[in-house]
Every structure is written in structure tokens, then in C-alpha cells.
Amino acid sequence: EKTVPIPEKLNEWAPRPPPEFVRDVMGSSAGAGSGEFHVYRHLRRREYQRQDFMDAMAEKQRLDEEFQKKLERNKLVAEEQTAKRRRKRQKLKEKKLQAKKNKLEQKKQEK
């Protein structure tokens, strides 16, 4: 009688999109401060994370497509087997009916 709460599916983690406009552009010129390396390191780590995420999503999509293809192949094989067995059953049924008709005709001829 008591209602049971069913938790919703958690959203997958996704990285922040890259910024449209980068304000702290670091050039190759000398004179960068000591804190610039840490900014660069964080940007680089975030970009690597984003690329890893995109690679993982592409792999997941590829596996999903392969799985769907495999399901479709299995479905076709099952349908072929079903059709083959259906034909076999129909053939046996027709054979029995033909034998029954032949038997009735033989009885009529004997009388």
C-alpha cells in the first residue's frame, strides 16, 4: 500500500564547453608571470578531459550501433528459422490430409 519512490536516472557527466572568447591569451613571448603556467595547466587538463569524454561517447555510440546490428541479425535468423519450421509443419499437415483423402478413396473403391 505504501508508495515506493523510484529514483530518476542520473544525467551523465559532461565537460563544460570550450569558451567562445578567451580573455587571457598567452603568447609565446617572454615575460609571462609565474602564475601563467598554472592557468595553462588547468586549461590543458580541461581540454584533455573534454577530448577523452568525446572519445568515450564516440566509442559508446559505436558499441550501441554494433549491438543494434547484432539484434537485427539475430531477429532475421530467428525469423528464417520460424519460417522454415512453419513450412515443415505445413508440409506435414498437407501430407496427413493427402493420406486421409487417399484412405477415404480406397474405402470408396472397395465398396
Domain parsing of the chain, residue ranges: 40-110
Please tell me the pTM assigned to this model: 0.58
Question: Which residue's entry shows cell 598554472?
Answer: 38
pLDDT tens digits, one per residue of 60-74? 999 999 999 999 999
Contact 16, 46 (CB under 8 A): yes
Q: For residue 1, what is its C-alpha cell?
A: 500500500
pLDDT tens digits, one per residue of 30-84? 566 777 778 788 888 988 999 999 999 999 999 999 999 999 999 999 999 999 9
CA atoms of 99 and 111, how far apart (whole Å): 19
> For 1-111, where are the alpha helices, taking DSSP H only?
36-110
